[in-house]
Chains A and B, each alone.
Chain A
Amino acid sequence: MADTTYDPEEMMTVAAARALKNGDVCFVGIGLPSTAANLARLTQAPDVVLIYESGCIGAKPDILPLSIGDSELVETADMVVSVPEIFRYWLQGGKVSVGFLGAAQLDRFGNINTTVVGDYKAPKVRLPGAGGAPEIATNSREVFITLRQTPRTFVETPDFITSAGYLTGGDARAKLGVPGKGPTRVFSDLGILEPHPVTKELTMVSLHPGITADQARAATGWQLQISPNCGVTPAPTDAELQILRDMKSRAAQAHSRSNLLSS
């Protein structure tokens, strides 16, 4: 029987993890995407290849990394290449099937902002910026996005487009010659969204157990479309939750250990 005591973030991570399959080559962003990608590797997709922008290809970390360059990634990777090489040969060269990204702000067409809140030249909040995301979003064959759904994250108009989704919707992305399919799935703590086949507007196609359509609408900064065929996401299984929790507790223990004396 499924455990009913999971929290919304666990549901989000499990839903995202289920989307990766054996045969995928996944370029992994740090944080939620990295947790989901490793959960996939430890559950239904043991052969998924995880690539981190630090140059680690085929990383199989036992302890979730805090950064994209923890030694755990190097020591478990099939190979380690330089940063120019990871972006030029492996990403731009078309070897990546899924780019897995997080976001600070997301709009209805899957455009991502991780640069600023407010005006670029006089920002209210300066966010970290682009990193690898703009090219992961365009040079991967498709893109998955995972982030919490609130009116502050699912916004009508992002303050900045750091990474391209479907731009103004419809065929705008293809017309501009942006490579890659773009964001094909978004996993939030409330449900799963997919772009409408024609308008490319992100539409709720599955709600997580216990979440209502009204709750999802209230957490969205634009008028959210709910698919007429909208289903219910299967709850996390006991096995999924157990593996996820073990993985997170190993990481929490490792990351709070002071290594001043050991180094």
Chain B
Amino acid sequence: MADIIPLSSAIADLVHDGDIVAMEGFTHLIPHAAGHEIIRQGKKNLTLVRMTPDLIYDQLIGMGCARKLIFSWGGNPGVGSLHRFRDAIENAWPQALEIEEHSHADMACAYDAGAAGLPMAILRAHRGTDLPKFNPTIREIVCPFTGEILVAVPSLRPDVAVIHAQQSDRRGNVLIWGISGVQKEAVLAAKRAIVTVEEIVDSVAPRANSVILPHWTVSAVCHEPGGAFPSYALGYSTRGNDFYRKWDAIARDRESFASWMQRYVLDVKTFAEHRALLTRSAHG
């Protein structure tokens, strides 16, 4: 049953040091507000799972929240590198980061298998590539019917999934439309789930291509309008492509990253304050 509670309470109650945390959202609906709250609460030793680490994990990794990263593409889309992710892998800064690397196809299937309650996913992948040499969780399996050699990867079963969505009703039934990524799979695969939403409405009205997560699959719903920025919520905002570009310079060196995080994340109490501060500085 979903509790509609403040984000700070949801993170405090449901995300623990050492947890396996999957914060999903494929370009669209990335839960940035929740990422900031995890940083402010100083969570440690997390195993972070996410297909595309994006700016949200660049920030969590750079602030020392992560022990391990399970991922399939670690870049700033259309811009270049994630500099904090690179600094952690190349120079162990601010601490060593263990990586478990996959492709999008195998990771998407691993979430699907997690939601389906299976121990592993099977797919046609990785033939002729080097990744299986370095990731022992990518293994071969022989089809018992045809003899074809396929790939098996263990299913993903996070302790907690965190996503952002457009709407919830007052009971916590969640509605997503547009690019839905792997959020449904991540929530159904996880033991607990936190959903931040743009809007809480009297009743949700499903549209074409929309995904419903019933309130009894969600632990907490938190009202965080604009909580995906610089990612976006279709129908509410567009992607902050300008900010994705600006992030490159902010995150490029350790000092400018640390001072940006201090000013815009640690020294504010909420994501709404963060957004207001960004708006003032961008136009002031």
Which A positions have Cβ atoms within 8 angstroms of B? 30-31, 53-56, 65-71, 74, 79-80, 82-84, 87-88, 91-92, 115, 120-121, 123-135, 138-139, 160-164, 167, 173, 176-179, 254-263
Contact = CB atoms under 8 A, between A and B. Distances in A.
Contacts of A128: 73-75, 81-82
Interface in B144-199: 148-149, 178-182, 184-185
A130 B128 contact: no
B224 interface: no
Contacts of A178: 127-128
Contacts, number: 210
Contacts of A167: 128
A219 B224 CA distance: 52
Interface in B54-86: 71-75, 77-79, 81-82, 85-86
Contacts of A82: 180-182, 184-185, 211
B72 A131 contact: yes
A177 B72 CA distance: 24
A68 B72 CA distance: 15
Contacts of B28: 54, 69, 71, 74
A88 B134 contact: no
28 contacts: A66-B78, A71-B232, A74-B179, A82-B182, A82-B184, A83-B26, A83-B51, A84-B108, A92-B124, A126-B86, A130-B73, A131-B73, A132-B104, A134-B125, A135-B123, A135-B124, A167-B128, A177-B127, A178-B127, A256-B241, A256-B245, A258-B240, A259-B237, A259-B238, A259-B242, A260-B240, A263-B229, A263-B237
Interface stretch (B5-13, B255-263, B275-283): B275-283
Contacts of A74: 28, 178-179, 234
Contacts of A55: 26, 179-181
B109 interface: yes
B41 to A, nearest CB: 25
A79 B128 CA distance: 32
Interface string B85-115: 1100110000000000111110011011000
Contact of A129 (B26, B72, B109, B126): B72
Given A126-B85, A258-B242, A91 B105 contact: yes
Q: Which of A30, A83, A91, A134 has the most CB of B within 10 A?
A: A83
A67 B231 CA distance: 10
B271 interface: no
A164 B131 CA distance: 11
Nearest to A132: B104
Contacts of A164: 127-129
A164 B244 CA distance: 31
B55 to A, nearest CB: 11
B33 to A, nearest CB: 13
Q: Which of B74, B79, B111, B185 has the most CB of A within 10 A?
A: B74
Interface residues of B, number: 68
**Chain A interface helix/strand/loop/mixed:** loop
Given A31-B78, A123-B89, A129-B71, A70 B242 contact: no
A138 B127 contact: yes
Contacts of A115: 101, 130-131
B270 interface: no
A71 B178 contact: yes
Contacts of A80: 178-180, 209
A262 B241 CA distance: 13
B31 interface: no
B128 A87 contact: no
A61 to B, nearest CB: 13
Contacts of B35: none
A83 B130 CA distance: 24
Contact of B103 (A54, A132, A259): A132
Contact of A139 (B79, B90, B124): B124
B80 to A, nearest CB: 9
Contacts of B275: 260
Contacts of B242: 255-259
